[in-house]
Amino acid sequence: MAVTLEQAQRVGYTCLKALLRFAFMVANNLVAIPSYVLYLIMLQPLRVLDSKSFWYIEGVLFKWLLAMVASWGWWAGYTVVEWGDDVKAVSEDEAMVLVNHQATGDVCTLMMCLQDKGTVVRQMMWLMDHIFKYTNFGIVSLIHGDFFIRQGRAHRDQQLVLLKEHLEKYYRSRNRKWIVLFPEGGFLRKRRETSQAFAKKNNLPFLKHVTLPRLGATQVILETLVAPQENGTPAGRDAVIKESKSKGLQWVIDTTIAYPKGEPIDIQTWILGYRQPTVTHVHYRIFPVKDVPAEPEALTHWLYQRFIEKEDLLTHFYKTGAFPPLQGQTKAISREMTLSNLWLICIQSFAFLSGGMWYCIFQYFYHCLF
């Protein structure tokens, strides 16, 4: 079949746009990430004198970095519409965010849609696969205090012990508020077959749009971060909780990401922008942590129920293009998530100006020394 001139022009334009976007992303990373690291190295005396102020500044820089990632998708037309409960209402409280996992773009989507949720982004902790430690963003996540978890049965018990120690050491000492995890333990396309086989063997529902979640990390987080009065169970490091006057973990935010036609966006698409503008839909449901059972068997059932509900939500979305209304509502209400282009430009400009400043400083010292 012959290619028309119009088709050739369209392909050429898409390739040129992708190349330019990739070049911009590389330049963005080369100035923004080293600048983040260098600013924090320079601020180490403040960390000793006033740890709270140091981690406040680090959080602001961290939020700006995530905003830069969000801008790559925003400017490509990859926007977000939000449904369900309004999570802004609990943005200042401690919360655990449970998210279904379809592709690498899920993280980028969250980086975007959480930008306008008050202090959430700068005070959040991520649980992610250990492979992300070796990406360009790995050094940022290490400094920020995110936790990299190794998947697989052979590592499971040790990783849960390390997670508990990590939470006790870093979560409240760095004033974290939200913790984000993907309980399925991997991408949908990789885990679906195994999950369905497990479900069949254990007489559990057959799921197509999500997989059955794993209990381990969720249980450790609840045991470690929930205050003593919640759930009737003691929290880890009670002294730290009293010291910081924290109310402990108060909410579980069940978050469901849906892509039109079930076609998720991956990180390559987010960067290169070769896909047509797409609206990703994110549904939130908020549960008080006091209503979440602590006993492992009951917690497993509760967690399974959340993902069975996700299955129903996604089935409804793929049939109708919208999520169903919340209980007690007659009509589902959606909200378009927006970002300020001026704000994004200011952040990008700050990154490139910082990169230029550090370059000049190194050049100056280099000439002084040599």
Residue 269 in tokens: 């698409």
Q: Which of 97, 344, 53 is nearest to 225 (CA)?
A: 97
CA 241 to centroid of chain Cα atoms: 25
pLDDT digits (tens, 9 = 90+) for 227-277: 765 444 444 444 333 444 568 999 999 999 999 999 999 999 999 999 999
CATH pick for 5-227+247-324+332-369 out of 3.40.1130, 3.40.1350, 1.10.3470, 1.10.287: 3.40.1130
Q: Residue 8: which pLDDT band, with cuts at 50, 70 and 90? A: confident
Average pLDDT, the chain: 90
pLDDT at 2: 62
Amino acid, res. 302: W
pTM of the model: 0.89
β-bridge pairing 78-84 and 95-99: unpaired
Q: Does residue 9 have a pLDDT over 90?
A: no
Highest-pLDDT range among 94-98, 224-228, 242-246: 94-98
Write down the domain spans for the chain.
5-227+247-324+332-369
- Average pLDDT over every residue of 272-285: 94
CB proximity list for 358: less than 8 A, separation 6 or greater:
34, 35, 38
Q: Rounded to the nearest 10 degrees, how much is the dihedral formed by the CA atoms of 243, 163, 66, 42?
A: 60
Helix (H, G, I), strand (E, B) or coil at 36: helix
- Average pLDDT over every residue of 218-226: 95
pLDDT digits (tens, 9 = 90+) for 60-89: 999 999 999 999 999 999 999 999 999 999
Distance between CA atoms of residues 312 and 196, nearest Å: 16
